[in-house]
Structure 1
């Protein structure tokens, strides 16, 4: 890839950064990606997969497996705080997880595939929607179009602040924790604030649940027994002094290393809510959102990524511990061997989802080189 190519891709990254779109709303982003891919003349270009998902297929001359690299389209509902020329132009929205950089890294792979198709099989570039809500990968796979590109192996990356710039961390097993958001709604009966006994308030039940839920998941080392519960939101009644409350909610994020442990943690949290509601005579509704299954790296793609890093002289650290945050990339393991690697954004770089975060442009070429080398080791 020439310096001019890299400069052009960097400007594309900056354009995507200026116009972030939330999960499920990535129409402009998808159109921009599809237009760039169309210029590369892939053998097949698919759009509207699982929402706004896009995929490009580069066909080899001989039969072989299908190998994919995957990235994400969506931004975050966070106000960016930056003086950079390419800062977000959309109030309250920002590419503060680096998905803009991930997209352009995969597009850089597309540029090399356009110049030289794989020898055998198919190379597929996947741009999935709605990763931040945990819904995008499942919707992408459930779309009827997916059957025509179903891969045998899928690679992915995520940039990682705190890791030296351009270094790779690669998990040899569990890669990302399972997590889900749990909404506990308690309902009673409002009353006049002068006569609270005429109603049924959930205040005491909520006050009871907050420490009980926190005690379920103290965190700690990311081993098999790890669990973390984080109360993220709570409300009680209306903001008024004249009405004793009749309803309230607690939102809590549950996090474990594995899916079986998640099932046990959900059961325990549900039990606490049912006990608190039952003893207080309150109605109870429980709902879940942002559901992420655990991600586990498979041995074969891990070995391929190791070799790719060695071939490209990219410093590599093998880890036996997952990241605490979650990814819906694990959905692609249902039918394929998968592995995600972490690409260092710098030890002192602003952290993911910080309002001053920005993807380091220096990572575009490094990530693309690792991806391409891994794909060609399988496809030639």
Structure 2
């Protein structure tokens, strides 16, 4: 991309703000100070209105146009991860076991770049809502924002977002129309039997063999394969059996697994199959079973019109782009906003030969701050002028 629409002072300010967020990470549902800093910055820049505590710690900055028109939402995230940072950057996390290893600090700083642009020149019509979403990492934030009664007044007609992606050359874009990220959900299965002395296991009811059967059979429900409408993948992420003792035959087991699918119908079927399997294995073994669900992400799908807008914006700004041949297996909470608006999300390259997302030494590249801001601002101006 040639040039930038932000001044050197603004870029330096946003970079410093990103570093401050990186030093003070807050995980999903605990983003109180991060949100307060963002809200204060929006007021300082000159947003027409700032709404706080949306769906928890969400923040929205609104810039009104001169004439009536549609609402365009531009979205970033606030939360960090429960990861101990091992990098040696000057702005490393100061909070033990907390770190911005996904780049949400950079996304938030970049979205504030959009605020600078719209403070200088309001949209010609309609309004722009800059949405700083909480709790993206566990899939609960977007749903909580949408469920907040105040969101009804902010509900967008179209929404855009982006995510940094290591492994793609710095500043290059990847996108596709249709499914972009998988839906996923975590399931925890607890099997309860009865402990016994290890010398007399027959006097108890051990869940050891049922757990082993469940591990193999639940994974077989989602073997992966081609990223088509029937794609399903089940990954066992954790298992625990009894207590670390040589004298006790176990009475309790726990399994955690992540279920992924592209299409809502396939996800519904996969969930039903996993639950029926767990309950059937428990019933046959005379065990009590408890199931609960966590980290529920909808599929993120790009609609035709906003995707076409993104392509035009990227081309006009000479951002090299490639069409993705298939969706990304990971999940993104932005997909939930697709239930309320037409949406498009792109990936922006964080560079090659760098650490991967969620690695303990990952650090968002500051050069992406103005690039992402200009792309999102351009998408909104395509609609609103």
**Fold match (TM-score > 0.5):** yes
SS of 1:346's equivalent?
Answer: coil
What is the match of residue 10 of structure 2?
A: 5
The yes-or-no answer on 1:276 pairing with 2:281 is yes
* Aligned position for 2:271: 266
Q: Which residue of 1 aligns with 2:328?
A: 323
Matched, 1:194 2:199: yes
**1:96 partnered with 2:98:** no
CA distance in 2, matches of 1:148, 1:43: 15
Aligned Cα root-mean-square deviation (Å): 1.0
SS in 1 for 2:223: coil
Q: TM-score, normalised by structure 1?
A: 0.98
Q: Corresponding residue for 1:61?
A: 66
Within a 5 Å distance, the mapping from 1:216-235 to structure 2 comes to 216-235=221-240
Q: Report the alpha carbon displacement of residue 2 of structure 1 after superposing the two structures with TM.
A: 1.3
Deviation, structure 1 residue 275: 2.2
Range with greater deviation from structure 2 (229-238 or 24-33) = 229-238
For residues 217-249 of structure 1, the C-alpha deviation after alignment (integer angstroms, 9 at most, x for no partner) is: 222332222221111111111222222111111
Partner residue of 2:3? none
Instruction: Confirm whether residue 299 of structure 1 aligns to residue 304 of structure 2.
Output: yes
Size of the aligned set, in residue pairs, is: 380
Once the two structures are superposed, the pairs formed by residues 116-155 of structure 1 within 5 Å of their partners are 116-155=121-160
8 Å contact from structure 1 (residues 163, 343) kept in 2: yes
- Conservation of the 8 A alpha-carbon contact between 1:101 and 1:359: yes
Deviation of the 1:293 alpha carbon: 1.1
Deviation at 1:356, TM superposition (A): 1.3
**Per-residue Cα deviation, 1:246-299 (whole angstroms, up to 9, x for no partner):** 111100111111211111111222222122112111111111100111111111
From 32, 48, 56, the counterpart of 1:27: 32
1:320 shift after superposition = 4.3
The answer to whether residue 198 in structure 2 is matched with residue 212 in structure 1 is no
Specify the alignment match of 1:162 in structure 2. Answer: 167
Cross-structure match for 1:358:
363
Q: Distance in 1 between matches of 2:288 and 2:322?
A: 51
Unaligned 5+ runs, structure 2:
1-5
CA contact (8 A) 1:174 1:320 kept: no
1:335 aligns with 2:320: no
